[in-house]
Structure 1
């Protein structure tokens, strides 16, 4: 009983930490879009998030680092969608479906999330530290994606092809979002992030042999 109680307390503590980190990330993103990273201080981010400055530095090393949880959240969501692929689906098809679904806008909250990302990517054009956070998030996402793709492709899949597919899928999303951020295109339609990412994926995977037998294939 005591062990279970300690586990529950630990879980609640981790949830509170994650919620605080996300509050800070939202505050940082809002200020970066409004004023740019150069026009924003860590004190202002902490104040808008409703936390003490020491709390800010407990979780983040710099103001640019603070938006990491927001950028990583999208990657976590699309990997989860990919992991839920139905058995029998080929790897390329699974990647395309997951990307299209992850970048879709079923509601205004999803649309706002994409617009916020656009604002951050525009701000990153003039801020090397913010760009570094963006690239780091993408690299971490690619690394986490490899075992997910491997499971879908099956045990007979070439490990190199699996790595290439993970890199292609990650870059497809990154390039699509970066290209979209330079325009005023809508969150839906032929020039939306979802449409651009699917196009990028098809181009990048065009020469790959990774077909797979589907999730759980032997």
Structure 2
């Protein structure tokens, strides 16, 4: 995005790293056993911290996976308006497909392990009310972020209603794609992988 990014202090970076490590350990345990069978104490132990430290970062054990789920969303929205990726005269649909593929394709930023943790989490979301609440909150934040990114991408003359409808459609396409992939044993790459499924959903809803 245009403009200089704020400098992050060493303390803030360490805090973010600790938070993400807790999130990864929670995702791993939830994926293996389900959230209801895992305690906050177990997550804290797996992350190498005390229980009091865990609760300084997260209100509930389910909240611990929010950074991991939200991280993919943040990347997706950033890629959408990244000047280094944007193409001149690129359509909104093409921009969304490009950003979606980058966000869901295994790379230095998106590891296969992270995708598999996401798969495990999404398989338990509908049976775990606490996790479902976190997933719905991440989706709501994602749509808000997409509205802002698409408003920038579509320009000041874009109809606000069209911007919101496009954001809602793109958000739904991404959610349906990753939930559909997570419910299968398909690999993380190829025609049945999350990137191709999401691109297909975007073409269906927005094309």
Aligned to 1:102: 103
Aligned to 1:55: 53
Once the two structures are TM-superposed, the CA of residue 106 in structure 1 deviates from its matched residue by 3.4
Aligned to 1:164: 165
Alpha-carbon separation, structure 2, partners of 1:75 and 1:108? 13
RMSD of aligned alpha carbons: 1.8
Once the two structures are TM-superposed, the CA of residue 125 in structure 1 deviates from its matched residue by 2.6
The answer (yes or no) to whether the contact 1:28–1:67 under 8 Å persists in 2 is yes
Aligned to 2:25: 27
Aligned to 1:75: 73
1:151 equivalent to 2:148? Answer no
Q: TM-score, normalised by structure 1?
A: 0.86
- Give the structure with higher Rg (CA): 1
Once the two structures are TM-superposed, the CA of residue 120 in structure 1 deviates from its matched residue by 0.5
* Structure 2 unmatched ranges of 5 or more: 1-5
Q: How does 1:126-137 map to 2 (within 5 A)?
A: 126-137=127-138
The answer (yes or no) to whether the contact 1:90–1:152 under 8 Å persists in 2 is no
* Structure 1 unmatched ranges of 5 or more: 1-6, 207-218
Alpha-carbon separation, structure 1, partners of 2:25 and 2:187? 24
The answer (yes or no) to whether the contact 2:173–2:198 under 8 Å persists in 1 is yes
Aligned to 1:197: 198
Q: TM-score, normalised by structure 2?
A: 0.90
Alpha-carbon separation, structure 2, partners of 1:141 and 1:193? 17
1:44 equivalent to 2:45? Answer no
Alpha-carbon separation, structure 2, partners of 1:174 and 1:97? 16
Once the two structures are TM-superposed, the CA of residue 109 in structure 1 deviates from its matched residue by 5.8
Once the two structures are TM-superposed, the CA of residue 107 in structure 1 deviates from its matched residue by 6.1
Find the residue that maps to 1:126 and give its secondary structure: coil
Alignment deviations for residues 2-30 of structure 1 (CA, whole Å, 9 cap, x no partner): xxxxx98x712211111111111011111
Worse-matched range after superposition: 52-61 or 107-116: 107-116
Find the residue that maps to 1:112 and give its secondary structure: helix
Find the residue that maps to 2:9 and give its secondary structure: helix
Once the two structures are TM-superposed, the CA of residue 157 in structure 1 deviates from its matched residue by 1.2
> How many residues in Structure 1 have an aligned counterpart in Structure 2?
199
Once the two structures are TM-superposed, the CA of residue 142 in structure 1 deviates from its matched residue by 1.0
CA change 1:107–1:16 in 2 (3 A) is: closer
Alignment deviations for residues 140-163 of structure 1 (CA, whole Å, 9 cap, x no partner): 011011111111111221111111
Once the two structures are TM-superposed, the CA of residue 108 in structure 1 deviates from its matched residue by 10
Alpha-carbon separation, structure 1, partners of 2:153 and 2:131? 33
Aligned to 1:116: 117
